[in-house]
Structure 1
Amino acid sequence: MVVVVEIGLGLTGFGIFFSFLGIIFFFDKGLLAMGNILFVSGVSLTIGLKSTMQFFMKRSNFKGTVSFGIGFLILILGWPILGMIVESYGFLVLFSGFWPTLSVFLQKIPVLGWFVQQPYIRSLFERYRGRRVPV
């Protein structure tokens, strides 16, 4: 079980890396498509197939799932910039519930924590949490 999770984390990391390379190489649709496939398969192996299906099929995540899927289809059809814009919107909607957890994690990293705790950056994270922080 631990090996499957480690492989899933590796695939997720490679998915992010290939997506980054695809953006760096002027929206190369092959690298972007490979990054998306690796990312989704890595998430599936990390949290399990049943949990993945429940996550993507939740009513509150439906708009993000559809946007992510349509963006991937647009990317495959040959419009990588438009596809990445639609996918990015879907990604933000899907994973918006994880921003508070991510902000707490980032604040505990030694050098990066100082940057994340700056008022402007902190207000961005707090906005996703649902409450406004005065700047």
Structure 2
Amino acid sequence: MLDVTEFQKIGVGLTGFGLFFLLFGVLLYFDSVLLAFGNILFLTGLAFIIGLRRTTHFFFQRHKLRGSTFFLGGIALVLFRWPIIGMAVETYGFVLLFKSFFPVACGFVLSLLNIPFLNMFYSKFLGSSPSMV
């Protein structure tokens, strides 16, 4: 079984609150204070969950440097009270950072759901069929 430390439990809570404040900030017409608070909580929670060294290693890998620049630059724009442009830049950076993870997540969700039309769509456009776990 996987041992979860107290720091990781705190990190999950911080990340959850960060996502809540991000969603709430977007729902309130891009309130820059809520978005900035959500971004700070999200990054702090991520550092608590996987550790500070792994977090910096994740963001500053050579092949992820462009995505990290856009993601952290978007956070900086939100902190400087440009919330709409900052969230757009941050979203683009998020997609660049996690683009290799999206097919894996799609395959996992589709293997759990086992929906024939979506499995056919996935295998046709992404080139491989999701494995049945």
TM-score by length of 1: 0.79
- 5+ residue gaps, structure 1, are none
Tell me if structure 2 keeps the 8 A contact 1:72–1:87: yes
Report the RMSD for the aligned CA atoms in angstroms.
2.7
What CA distance in whole angstroms lies between the structure 2 residues aligned with 1:50 and 1:122? 39
The separation in 2 between residues aligned to 1:93 and 1:85, in whole angstroms, is: 13
Q: Residues 12-51 of structure 1: matches in 2 within 5 Å?
A: 12-51=15-54
Greater share of helix:
1
4+ residue runs of structure 1 moved beyond 2 angstroms? 100-109, 117-123
Aligned residues of 1:100 and 1:126 also touching (Cα < 8 A): no
Contact 1:74 1:82 in 2 (8 A): yes
> How much does 1:91 deviate?
0.8
Shift in CA distance, 39/118, structure 1 to aligned 2, threshold 3 Å:
farther
1:97-132 per-residue CA deviation (whole Å, 9 max, x = no partner) reads 2223422443365xxx367x6439954x986xxx44
Q: Secondary structure at the match of 2:30?
A: coil
Give the C-alpha shift of residue 10 in structure 1: 1.4
How many residue pairs align between the two structures? 126
* Distance in 1 between residues matched to 2:34 and 2:77, nearest whole Å: 14
| Aligned partners of 1:64 and 1:91 also within 8 Å | yes
| Structure 2 residues without counterparts, runs of 5 or longer | 129-133
Q: Which whole-Å CA distance do the structure 1 matches of 2:117 and 2:8 have between them?
A: 34
2:59 corresponds to 1:56: yes
